[in-house]
Structure 1
Amino acid sequence: MNEERKKVLQALKTSKGQIEGIIKMIEDERYCIDISNQLMAAQALLKKANLLILRQHLSHCVKEAIIHDKGDEKLDEVMKLLSKFID
């Protein structure tokens, strides 16, 4: 496993812990703003993990596809994914 994937895995494990903590906060009827702050922190970690995965995809999969004249297919994939962020 490369360093990028290790970072993704760590971010996901951390966000998993945060989500478990958020569930406990809700069960304990903690203050809504505190829960919301924790939700935003978990979302930020998931966003970071996603960006790391996308960076790796561009650096490896898309780059390799372009070298082998199959770049259009990979670029279409990336554009389809990016359209989800824009919508």
Structure 2
Amino acid sequence: MSDPGGVAADQLRAFVERIERLEEEKKVISDDIKDVYAEAKGNGFDVKILRKVISLRKKQPHEREEEEAVLDLYLQALGMAVQGNM
């Protein structure tokens, strides 16, 4: 089915409805993640560090090493380098 503007209205409506459903699912999942972080915080875990751990686990070891090397370089340039391992 085509409208005068050449838009397949049924196909467009199906895409919009799929996106709307996925957006709602994304909101539910996001709320669930917030609940887990709140639970972790309630059990004494530092949520900021927990988020960092989650971020690091998504990266390959070589990516983490490269990021840490650049961070160390920047900290040294600013006179903020930590002695020993970070």
Kindly indicate which of the two structures has a greater share of residues assigned to helix.
1
* TM-score when normalising by structure 1: 0.45
Greater relative contact order, per chain length (Cα 8 Å cut-off, separation 6+): 1
Larger radius of gyration: 2
